[in-house]
Amino acid sequence: MNDQATIELPAMQSELSAFYPHVWKKILEHWGTLNCPGYLKQLMIIETDRSRAGFSAKAIAEVLFLTELHDRQFPRFAIKAKPIKASTWTSMG
């Protein structure tokens, strides 16, 4: 984790730290760095070829919240969506 970075969560039990400690540890290691947004995004990818149960709904909500929080705290590292060209929409019709 970046020495200057802290994660301030609302007063709630962290689902990730309680039930997915290995994931939480990785988030803490990446928090405040360029790698964090990509790691958080990777957590949301469904891998159908793997035999994992996946995250609970609370954990998914927490990952989304942390993604938004990281983007606000460290906007220079935020993953920016590419703008959609108007021609893309007209060619779909």
For 42, the token pair is 């990777």
Kindly state whether residue 82 falls inside one of the protein's structural domains.
yes
Tokens 């958080």 sit on residue? 40
CB 24 within 8 Å of CB 16: yes
Kindly state whether residue 76 falls inside one of the protein's structural domains.
yes
Kindly state whether residue 25 falls inside one of the protein's structural domains.
yes
Name residue 5's amino acid: A
Domain that holds residue 70: 15-91
pTM of the model: 0.71
Kindly state whether residue 9 falls inside one of the protein's structural domains.
no
pLDDT at position 88: 54
Q: Please count the structural domains in the chain.
A: 1
CB-side exposure of 6: number of CA atoms within 13 Å?
3
Kindly state whether residue 54 falls inside one of the protein's structural domains.
yes
Kindly state whether residue 4 falls inside one of the protein's structural domains.
no
Kindly state whether residue 69 falls inside one of the protein's structural domains.
yes
pLDDT at position 22: 93
Query: CA separation (Å) from 20 to 15, 25, 33, 48, 76?
Result: 7, 9, 21, 20, 28
Tens place of pLDDT for every residue, the chain, 93 residues?
A: 555 556 665 545 589 989 999 999 999 899 999 999 999 999 998 777 767 778 999 999 999 999 999 999 999 999 876 666 666 555 555
